[in-house]
Structure 1
């Protein structure tokens, strides 16, 4: 939630103008950490700025235009929080009583597949937000973007991604779906981000350039020797740093490129099942937040660890510690 970085601050005060804008924004040209900025805004105004729609976004840009620097707003990532479903279009509230999940989609085993797609004209599914798919705009439709790129395109060219059950029941949507075999993105997403003032606004407007961060591929190395999981662990710690830890989708992408050159169908990664605690842990002590399991892992075996497929979808599977595979080390 907190950050060691210091930026100027965007606070808001609650009020209502002639056009019934919910907030009055104040740009504070003092460099502070996020938690310091939050405290300042709560003491001097109401809270850090909450952004409810593109109109708010433009107002924020206008008040800070002369400074041209980054500034804190009230959005923070509650890392250990529950992922909450939202509709992309501001003002459309998500209701658990108005869902229409395809069979088997209600439990995703903790996988980071956080963006909605239409399996057919009536059923919903979800997939990784970073893959490219066709998508459905409200007042328009286009092809092949990631979910966030699709959202940005729809807001610029039309209104937004199709959002809410009312829009999905439109006859035009059914015509589009029937005209293609592809499963398009629509305006459903989930995340663990929250607003400082406790409001439930679903508006997000990410800078896509910052979302394209890629880790240094030279920090991992494939060892083409067949070892048990424990022997692989000791090898990595003795010759490099550790068995590899995968904390996000970008890590996963780089590592799956490495494992394509393996000589075994699976490679060991630094994921181990802690039998006494009944959950999976990384050997680096990182919490298992990002997951890429092929299926829900078993929780009744004390001698299993995590391995990645070297072909296909590069999914994770639990394997007996005594099996021998190539493995991936992280480097100092």
Structure 2
């Protein structure tokens, strides 16, 4: 076997560089914050947009507006919105044709409505779902309001 192409010699530099980087990150306490950041599936966008504008932005730059379809996803989003500059933050929750739904197509089995009551047949301009920073619950808002929003 040719010594120049031995797998250890070819990959040794990459291996030692990775090991050194991980050690430095651990020493400076960066690994836990990096791990925490990597666990987060949502991104808070500080740009204030209407609900439609937020939807377009998320679909262009990420995947979609956030679907908070489980308690775990809701908790993850709540961690993200603490830095929002608006009191409410747009989510992917929408009312259309008599039903609330997630624009991602996720099931609406888990709910976290303000006063534990899903708005039935809300006024035409109050058919967009937002997350309230104070109550940490869902609410319906005027779709033309300009709010921060959460993408996934």
**TM-score using structure 2 length:** 0.70
How many angstroms apart in 1 are the aligned matches of 2:100 and 2:123? 12
Q: CA deviation at 1:301?
A: 2.1
1:134-182 Cα offsets, whole Å, 9 max, x none, are xxxxxxxxxxxxxxxxxxxxxxxxxxxxxxxxxxxxxxxxxxxxxxxxx
1:246 aligned partner: 68
1:277-313 Cα offsets, whole Å, 9 max, x none, are x1101001112110000032241323321000112x3
Aligned residues: 112
Contact 1:224/1:326 (<8 A) preserved: yes
**TM-score using structure 1 length:** 0.33
5+ unaligned residues in a row in structure 2: which ranges?
1-37
Give 3-state SS (helix, strand or coil) of 1:219's partner.
Answer: coil
Higher-Rg member (1/2): 1
5+ unaligned residues in a row in structure 1: which ranges?
1-215
1:322 aligned to which of 131, 136, 144: 144
CA RMSD of aligned residues (A): 1.3
Q: Segments of 4+ in structure 1 off by > 6 A?
A: none
1:286 aligns to 2:109 (yes or no):
no
Higher relative contact order (CA 8 A, sep 6+): 2
Whose strand proportion is higher, 1 or 2? 1
Contact 1:308/1:316 (<8 A) preserved: yes
1:135 aligned partner: none
Give 3-state SS (helix, strand or coil) of 1:243's partner.
Answer: coil
Whose helix proportion is higher, 1 or 2? 2
Contact 2:41/2:76 (<8 A) preserved: no
Contact 1:271/1:306 (<8 A) preserved: yes
1:306 aligned partner: 129
1:113-152 matched pairs, under 5 angstroms = none
1:25-64 matched pairs, under 5 angstroms = none
How many angstroms apart in 1 are the aligned matches of 2:131 and 2:122? 20
